[in-house]
Amino acid sequence: MTSYANLSGKSGVSTYEIYDNAILIEFRHGAKYIYDYDIPGEPEVEEMKRLAVQGSGLMTFINKNVRKRFALKL
């Protein structure tokens, strides 16, 4: 897993791992979620990947656009 840069210092995201058609996100409270091309969809997952690498905006994007639409909670 890659540490999320958290450039704002306020994100709830801790780490992430990028796959071809999915992203795994671990939140600070320890929960891990997989988001994939089926749920919430390819456009959302690709944006989440971009924001994860950028280190900024991922939590805001999840809260505003994805919410509870995840493929799997680990």
Q: Which tens digits make up the pLDDT trace of 28-66?
A: 999 999 999 999 999 999 999 999 999 999 999 999 999
DSSP 8-69: TS--SEEEEEEETTEEEEEETTS-EEEEETTTBTHHHHHHHHHHHHHTSSHHHHIIIIITT-
Domain ranges of the chain: 2-73
Is residue 8's pLDDT more than 90? Answer: no
- What is residue 13's predicted lDDT score, i.e. its pLDDT? 97
The confidence score (pLDDT) of residue 26 equals 98
Query: Rounded distance, CA 35 to CA 14, Å?
Result: 15
